[in-house]
Amino acid sequence: MPSTTDILNSILASRSGASLSELLTKHPEIARRTAQRILANLVESSQITAQGEGRARRYFAIEHQAETHAPNTDTDAFPAFIPLSADSRDILAYINQPTEARKPVGYQRDFLDAYRPNETGYLPESLRRQLHRMGKTADATEPAGTYSRAVLNRLLIDLSWASSHLEGNTYSRLDTRQLIEQGKAAQGKAALETQMILNHKTAIELLVENIESAEFNRYTLMNLHSALAENLLPNPADEGRIRQHAVDIGKSTYRPLSTPQQIEDALDVLLGKANQIADPFEQSFFMMVHLPYLQPFADINKRTSRLAANLPLFRANLCPLTFLDVPEQAYSRATLGVYEMTRVELLRDLYIWAYERSTQEYLAIKQDLAEPDPLRLAWRDFIKKTIREIISHPELDPLSCIQRSVAEYVSEREQPQVQALIIEELRRLHDGVLARYGLRPSEFKSWKSLHGH
């Protein structure tokens, strides 16, 4: 069939693979269901392979997959330029086996329960000292968040790009810079990729702006997830909420917990332990290990863990962990070592290498990027302030409050757009996004009881 040939040729032509959305954009004459059926047949007949789940799923030609993705050797799976310990090589030898040769495993609660904050150390003391030396900045004694605010413009680009790249996003660093600084989406990219970058920007800003009050609790974690997940999940109700269903991990023999109550209980223990850890690097790495392992959300768990891992570093005015130049295959192998073996050595070796890369960038750079558009920043703060005013004063009529504020502060030309933005933000408000506005769940509950939101 011509349709099958067209789709196969498009995949063959792309070394970075293609998503369903990208293929439909290239071939608008092919219906979505038809394309899905063609892709399933091509995978079944071993003409292409698929990686990722849901909207992040990408299709690769077999020849390209073999060259760039198949973990046939240690070198393929974990680049030689990342130093590995003997323990890490043992993990890699196991993970590099075909899935059918690896043992099916479920969530091991003992792995979490055995961790004793400030007694157990995933990062030995000597290693923590090394990380502190690498990451120390001139702002070490300044108030929490001073350094992350100073490098925020660069941080938004680097962390948004690198974390998205680990999810198969094909935006270049320059594309990302133009999107974040100018609001200009890259041509030929799927809307999903643009949304992913913008969500990272929002989530990073959320952490930096709330650094004094942010800690590892449900409020911070749920709002961080909702920022990263906005408009990316099949069910928007899953944004900022504990998952209510089972999930599978692609190309893994690991099966996470499926009972919501068990997930809730484990998450409370996880957050309680994280908050007790004194060293910022140990705290950071603990979140990198245990949050993806628990898989508390329907999706976007690893992204959430990568940003959560930066919270202690932001707070201590240390260099951020941006994941620049971290190979996706290395990251996925290291994570599988945790999932299937509850062993952290491979992820630890990668963490150390990745952090050194980040510090080399950040201790060498000058802030040479343009400041964000002050007008956009002004409206962003105004929208937040107006939402906060409405929810904090439930006795006020929301629409009248919006109209009054907009008329007073916004130029007549821009009033309709700003008012529409505020109404839309208010309409979509729920517990998982309240931190954006400096609101507490009790305030929102009081407002809802009067306005039936």
CB 388 within 8 A of CB 437: yes
**pLDDT at residue 75, rounded to an integer:** 39
Residue 10, pLDDT score: 83
List residues forming the annotated binding site: 299-306
Residues, the chain, total? 453
Q: If you ran DSSP here, which 8-state letter would residue 51 be given? A: E
Report pLDDT for 65: 42
Residue ranges for the binding site for ATP?
299-306
Q: What is the CATH number of domain 4-61?
A: 1.10.10.10
- HSE toward the beta carbon, residue 353, CA cutoff 13 A: 20
pTM, entire model: 0.68
Hey, is 101 helix, strand or coil?
helix
Residues pairing with 424 in the sheet: none
- Helix then strand count (H, E) for the chain reads 23, 5
Query: Can you name the CATH fold of 86-367?
Result: Fic-like fold (1.10.3290)
Q: How far is CA 52 from CA 60, 163, 174, 300, 421, in A?
A: 11, 15, 25, 12, 33
Spans of all domains in the chain? 4-61, 86-367, 374-451
Question: How far, in Å, are 33, 42, 422 from residue 28 at the CA level?
Answer: 12, 19, 35
pLDDT value of position 324? 92
| pLDDT in the model for residue 97 | 92
Burial class of residue 163, CB neighbours in 10 A (0-12, 13-18, 19+): buried
Q: Could you give the CA distance from residue 164 to residue 348 in angstroms, rounded to a whole number?
A: 21
**Whether the Cβ atoms of residue 134 and residue 128 lie closer than 8 Å to each other:** no
What pLDDT shows up at residue 1? 55
| pLDDT-flagged residues of the chain (< 50) | 63-76, 366-373, 376
Residue showing tokens 């309709």 = 416
